[in-house]
Structure 1
């Protein structure tokens, strides 16, 4: 964003004496807009005043001008024909763009979406065909995807696109919209999700340089962005190499037998991720990071070997879908809501062969929440009584059955939400750091019920539940839940079930899920051993320090009395 900020301030290019000022460009734009209105190509829009000093974020060079988008371009919305009528769509059809089409990588030019409109579909809705060179700008879910139309196309209702009155400005306006997208998004409104209206888009001011300088800005920004892309690729390659090295050192840890060998192997691993496992130097905190790296590597397939005989993850997804359909037809479960396609922006790495990216909801057969009656604060006296789990029962990486309240007197229990062995339980409300944490329940005591802030997800196989539980602890998923959860403060954030079910999942074959779970358990057991050694060493060190201190104090007392 620094490059774009400097470009929009005129800091990346030199002024030229023969540049015609932007005021002349605006006069030409006004004449072209008036011509289109007179010839009924476009409708006359409301008059827009020039931006005031208070409305613009900074001063621009003297040959530039601040101008509202509605003066520079025609703002056009989109539309969608009835999705229930398949004849409204055809392949390739009339190019029709949705925000999902623009999320697939860094798109600068866009020609077609994943679906096209038939002539019937186009005629049945209010979508407008825009010429090549138009700026396609997503105005909701999310706000700020930008692309240049490579040919005539139209969009769905998730856009407020621009048809420049001077098409030679199109390349510059692309970068200007990229630069100001966060500020445009900040003016959006809405409760479920923010959306930018046509009026907001038309009134938003942009800095407009002379045409000749626009060309120089575009050339300079293109050059610098290409350099940034090259640096990102180099950095990604370095991360991949580092990841492979870290995985190799973890294998050495897993094969260590003796305590001395174990500590030496962990020291090598720690060096590979810049940790320091020396007494008195934060070694327990470093071990916490070791566990985190183990999880992050595991869900990338870096701790296990591929087996060519494994059924690919696509087969597993097919079996889950078939089982879900069977349960729906048998009326054992309700038909689930349709999930959006997995967002490629969340696919942070390439999965190994045989794996697939999918949404968590594609793996789930059932999802249900509990019940939160008014309960006394104390736990039940014995297992014969019913209790309701507190959030703390599922927030700390393992199921804590003692974290519950006794069911209030006079209330009837609900056996349907009793916690069972193998349940995958997840908190949908908690602090920003803990919201969405999960556990897989092992051999729970009877008569404990979920609260309404705990979600139970049902999978086709317990191994998948255990694998998803590992994924839930990775840095990427924790960051995702902290980002999308809602709340007025970090002390209480909430996730919707749709947000949970939309979580992107790097899905291995079922057999490899089992190998991953087993490997992580083995490595965590080694970390537990080392942690105990470090704790014992710390206690001994403190005891020794206290003993030395006591002897010194006694010596001082004796010296003072002699």
Structure 2
């Protein structure tokens, strides 16, 4: 323990450090390394004999069934050296291991119904009866013939994602269990419930790693009964439980303090960022930035804060606060006029279709003040926007051609250089598809990827979940890419509510966005790239620091 205490601060700074400490406390406790042994305590060998006698009494009275005798614990099964006075034994020789029903009784309502508890009803170490199904008295009586649950019994989850989760029954209310093991004491004076629970929690860590059943993890009743437990004298069981509880309580307090500090750090960063964004004049902005700069190493030692910083960079970029304006450059108003002329010429030449004219940007759509040479426009004025389609999957002549076909999950690549699927010229002709040129900016419209953006570095078609923009002259495609990234949360909010979240092409082209002069667009993109590179460096440093701390922690724990 001295070695652990020496590096305790490192352990706590490691993301998984407190979890590992809890596991270590459990391990040391059940191996007899947390408390001293007392030679005056009655030995585990005598204790096991007393338990065997109590078990036989229950068999003689017909209260439990006689089972096939379990094999003695072999030397090679003894995974660690026991303290003096302890003994290795099979779990079922220490405690009666049963299970509940594996059937699905019908739901029942009204009086004389009983809760049917599964591991889903184990909430933070207690049983949540309110969320449990209820079954008839007849079904309850039938299930109770094999698993009559009583106060101080231990319930152990046998299946699913909660495998190994446990609770101690706190009262004598009547209920039935399903897909849950029941650990009942032959005599509660000979084994301490909380010690058995702590020991089986330790065993559960290994069970979870080795769980059989594939996609649905499962541990059988026979396997549980044959688990090996190191059993100390009863008085030592009490001391171990007390010490474990003391140390776990300390871990809880340390974790709460760490969470408080992390939350405070996030709040300080959020407030600092908010001050930066809302600054209405240069002095206020500079003061807000000075605070962040002075606290930079502290604020951005947390990965979430770096993620937030990226959002701030995009936000400031869209407000014209990342780079200086140049009054000698063509204004956005003049640029917008040229874009409208270009659009009109493309319509006249038949290159694009004439569409319903969108309304001018209204005052109530403007959310903040732009620099003087910028202009509010709609995304429709950035280029021509088209979505694709998915050819019939049952028609093989549509697929495995030479035309890359982008799906929404691939948009997140940023720079899109390849696709996992291709389509044929025949699909292009028959399925309302078109090839988007290199440099087109893509936005994902459906599902979990809403608002993700990418730029084509290949010519490609898309499915219906992706909208592509071929930008007009005077629009930097990398600037549009960053505009979309800055709108991601807005698009997610617009897409919420449906069974599958989605945004439409109409919502995209109607979105109001700032338009800077063309040369300023390029300067903004360069500045964003520089700052994002810094953010990526920060994230790598945080990951490397965390990895190093984990390595140190693992090295420390390996020596204990």
Which TM bucket (shorter chain)?
Answer: 0.5 to 0.7
Residue 139 of structure 1 deviates from its aligned partner by 1.4
Per the TM alignment, residue 180 of structure 1 is displaced from its structure 2 partner at its CA by 1.9
2-structure distance, mates of 1:468, 1:178: 45
Change (3 A) 1:58 1:80: closer
Counterpart check, 1:531 vs 2:550: no
2:51 corresponds to? 29
**Match for residue 100 of structure 1?**
120
TM-score normalised by the chain length of structure 1: 0.55
Q: 1:92 & 1:526 partners in 2: Cα distance?
A: 75
CA distance 1:181–1:369, change in 2 (3 Å): farther
Q: How does 1:311-330 map to 2 (within 5 A)?
A: none
Q: Which of these residues, 224, 240, 265, is aligned with residue 201 of structure 1?
A: 224
Question: Which residue is 1:424 aligned to?
Answer: 446
Residue 293 (structure 1) aligns with:
308
- Of 153, 167, 171, the residue aligned with 2:188 is 167
Report what 1:238 is aligned to: 261
Q: What is the SS of the residue equivalent to 1:395?
A: helix
Deviation at 1:211, TM superposition (A): 0.6
Residue matched to 2:150: 131
What is the CA-CA distance between 1:447 and the residue it aligns to?
6.4
1:148 paired with 2:129, answer no
Distance in 2, Cα, partners of 1:186 & 1:413: 53
User: Of 66, 69, 86, which residue of structure 1 is paired with 2:91?
Assistant: 69
Q: Deviations over 1:204-257 (max 9, x none)?
A: 101110111101111111122222222222222222222211110111231357
For residues 217-296 of structure 1, the aligned pairs below 5 Å read: 217-256=240-279, 265=288, 268-269=291-292, 272=295, 274=297, 290-293=305-308
2:152, 2:170 within 8 Å by CA — same for their partners in 1?
yes
SS of residue in 1 equivalent to 2:101? coil
Q: Structure 1's 32 and 259: CA in aligned 2 closer, same or farther, altered over 3 A?
A: same
Contact 2:391–2:427 (CA under 8 A) maintained in structure 1: no
**Residues 148-547 of structure 1: matches in 2 within 5 Å?**
148-152=168-172, 153-168=174-189, 169=191, 170-256=193-279, 265=288, 268-269=291-292, 272=295, 274=297, 290-293=305-308, 371=393, 375-376=399-400, 378-379=402-403, 388-389=405-406, 393-396=410-413, 403=419, 406-408=422-424, 423-426=445-448, 439=451, 448-449=462-463, 466-467=492-493, 530-532=527-529
**1:134–1:162: 8 Å Cα contact kept in structure 2?**
yes
Please show how residues 9-28 of structure 1 align to structure 2 within 5 Å: 9-28=31-50
Change (3 A) 1:110 1:533: closer
String of CA shifts for 1:436-494, please: whole Å, max 9, x gaps.
x664589999963379xxxxxxxxxx988614999xxxxxxxxxxxxxxxxxxxxxxxx
Change (3 A) 1:78 1:289: closer
Deviations 1:130-151 (A, max 9, x none): 2211111111222121111112
Deviations 1:56-75 (A, max 9, x none): 32111120011111111121
Question: What's the CA shift string for 1:100-153, capped at 9, x where partnerless?
Answer: 221x33x1x548452244413414657622221111111122212111111245
Cα distance between partner residues in 2 of 1:50 and 1:518: 76
Larger relative CO (CA 8 A, sep 6+): 1 or 2?
2
Matched with 2:345 is none
Displacement of 1:163: 0.8
Seen in structure 2, the aligned counterparts of structure 1 residues 468 and 200 have a Cα distance that, compared at 3 Å, is farther
- Give the corresponding residue for 1:353: none
Using the alignment, how far apart are the partners of 1:159 and 1:518 within structure 2? 56
C-alpha deviation, 1:11, in angstroms: 1.2
Whole-Å separation in 1 of the counterparts to 2:99 and 2:260? 41
Q: CA separation in 2, counterparts of 1:14 and 1:52?
A: 27
Structure 2 unaligned residues grouped into runs of 5+: 1-22, 313-389, 437-441, 466-487, 502-510, 514-521, 535-560
* 439-448 vs 46-55, greater mean Cα deviation: 439-448
Residue of structure 1 equivalent to 2:13 = none
Partners of 1:272 and 1:369 lie apart in 2 by 54
Q: Give RMSD over aligned pairs.
A: 4.9
Q: Shift of the alpha carbon at 1:533?
A: 5.7
Residues 392 and 403 in structure 1, CA contact (< 8 A), matched pair in contact too: no
Q: Distance in 2 between matches of 1:19 and 1:288?
A: 52
Q: SS of the residue aligned with 1:274?
A: helix
Gaps of 5+ in 1: 278-285, 298-367, 380-386, 427-436, 452-461, 471-499, 506-516, 520-524, 538-562
